[in-house]
Each structure stands twice: as structure tokens, then as C-alpha cells.
Amino acid sequence: MEPVLKLKDICKEYRRGGTPFFAVDHASLEVEPGGYVNIIGRSGSGKSTLLNIAAGMLPPTSGAAELGGVPLTGKDDAELSRIRNDGIGFIPQGASALPTLTVLENVMLPFCLYPHDGDGCGYARLLLDRFGVADLADAWPGELSGGELRRVLIARALINRPQIVIADEPTSDLDVRSTRDVMEAFAKLNADGTTLLIVSHDLDALKYGKRVYTMSEGRLAEGNRLAP
């Protein structure tokens, strides 16, 4: 079966004080449909950089990235943005809801960026209900708890029925209970067939995934290399 996401020999080079260094150093990864991949690693290991490349938000210095067989490299900004909108449900790190829109409007936002068939408003309400935050539809993001907000952002990521949901540190600023709620939501999503790629430095998140990779100094290796 064709992988949903395919990263082949990805490199991302930066210059720091004139000296080149590789934030991502020849990383390769394939995520199959229905897969649930965790990438763990210490701060500064290059996880977020790899994630940004995988989500088509950062061009690699070299290597190839494909989403559903469609190359992400060599595309102009307009094409890439559309691919990202339709094909990837991205959950950024931290609070990333627009404070000027209600919860419902935040969930609808990706749907409204481009013409889409169907009832975006109705589906947004359905998603909010699915994650147990339907009664917060008319609330403002600032009025929600961390856990509630994170579930809203998961709903937002699903509004366009993407091929893959990519989350960057989804539980980084949450308490234990909220972390558990969020990870269980992801697990349920995956059980329903959604493909997931999650970056985290929280080792407890591992028990919810199917495969794990470790990022260290820009290098990606399969398995948990951080276990004591």
C-alpha cells in the first residue's frame, strides 16, 4: 500500500555563526495509511524541523517529501498551501487558536480558506460534539481550559478530512489529566482510521502509538533510543 507520508533522505542545513550544521541529517520515514507514528527526542534534536518539512511548511535542503504520492518539493507557495489545507491536518505547538474567532469559527477556519463542498458549519459542530466540547461552540478560545482547547484544535485539524494529522508537542503545556484526555482522543481517532504523526518529548505518549522513532542531533532512528 502506498504510504500516506514518505520522507526520503531529508536534510535541512542552517548556518550558525557562519558554521553550517544539519538540523535534520539524512532522515527517512514512511507512514502507512492508518499508521500512528511517534517521534521523540530531546529539545533541539530537530523533531519540529522534520515535522515542518513533513507538513510542507519548510523546504528541505535536499531529499524528497511526498504526501499521498504527490511530491511536496518543487511546488509554488499557492499549490503547497492548497495541499496543506486539503491533505494535512496540522496541530501546532502551544495555543494556536485565533483569539478573534469563536471556537466554532476556529474549527471552520481551514474549511473556509478555500471553496469546499459540503456543510462546513454542520461538520464542525459534529466534530466538536465528537470531542465533547459541543457546548463551547460559541465561546472564545481564551475562555477554555488547556485540554478543551487542544480538543478544539484536533477538531480543527479534521475539518477537511485530511490524509494525515500531524501534531507538534500536543501535550506540552497540559496537566496530567488533560494529557491523558488528549492522547486518548488521538488513540480513538487512529482506531477510526485516521493516520497520525505526533512529535513529543513526553515518553508517556508512547503507549498510545504503534511505531516510535527517536530524533537525536538531526538523525532519525527507529525505536525508542531514549529509554533508560
Partner 1 sequence: MGHVRLTAAAVAKRSIQRRPWRSFCLIFAVLLFSFALFAGSVLTLSLSSGAESMANRLGADVMIVPAGYDPHIDSILLSGKPSNFYLPADTLERLSRFEGIERMSPQTFLATLSASCCSYPVQLMGIDFDSDFLVKPWLDATLRRELKDGELIVGYRVTGEPGDKIKFFGKELTVVGRLEQTGMGFDAAVFLNRPTIAMLAKEAERIIKHPLAADGSLISTVMIKLKPGEDSVQTAREMNSALNGDGIYALFSKKFVNSISASLKTVSWMVRGGLLFLWLLALVVIALLFAMSLAERRREMGVLRALGASRSKLIRMALTEAFLVSLYGASLGVALGAAAVAAGSPFVTEALRMPFLLPAWPTLIFLALGAAAASLLTGLSAALFSAVRAAKSAISDAMREA
Q: Tell which positions 120-149 bind partner 1, by CB under 8 A.
A: 121, 125
- Cβ proximity to partner 1: between 194 and 208 the closer is 194
Check residue 99 for interaction with partner 1 (CB under 8 A): yes
Check residue 216 for interaction with partner 1 (CB under 8 A): no
Which of the stretches 24-32, 73-81, 204-212, 215-223 binds partner 1 when contact is defined by CB under 8 A?
73-81
Give the shortest CB-67-to-partner 1 separation in angstroms: 13
Check residue 92 for interaction with partner 1 (CB under 8 A): yes
- Cβ proximity to partner 1: between 17 and 99 the closer is 99
Q: Phi then psi for 16, rounded to 5 degrees?
A: -125, 110
Which of the stretches 13-21, 30-38, 63-71, 100-108 binds partner 1 when contact is defined by CB under 8 A?
100-108
Q: Does residue 120 sit in helix, strand or coil?
A: helix
CA 174, CA 185: separation in Å to the nearest integer? Answer: 14
Tell me which of 61, 81, 172, 216 binds partner 1, using CB under 8 A.
Answer: 81
CA 213, CA 220: separation in Å to the nearest integer? Answer: 7
From the DSSP assignment, how many helices (H) and strands (E) are in the chain?
A: 6, 10
DSSP 58-103: S--SEEEEEETTEE-TT--HHHHHHHHHHHEEEE-SS--S-TTS-H
Give the shortest CB-180-to-partner 1 separation in angstroms: 25
Q: Tell which positions 164-203 bind partner 1, by CB under 8 A.
A: none
Tell me which of 39, 50, 60, 86 binds partner 1, using CB under 8 A.
Answer: 86
Binding residues for partner 1, rule CB under 8 A, total 33
CA 68, CA 207: separation in Å to the nearest integer? Answer: 27
- Cβ proximity to partner 1: between 14 and 224 the closer is 14
Burial string for 156-176 (b: 16+ CB within 10 Å, else e) reads bbbbbebbbbbbbbbbeebee
Please report, as ranges, the residues that interact with partner 1 according to CB under 8 A: 48-49, 52, 55, 57-58, 77-78, 81-82, 84-86, 90, 92-94, 96, 98-101, 104-105, 108-110, 112-114, 121, 125, 156
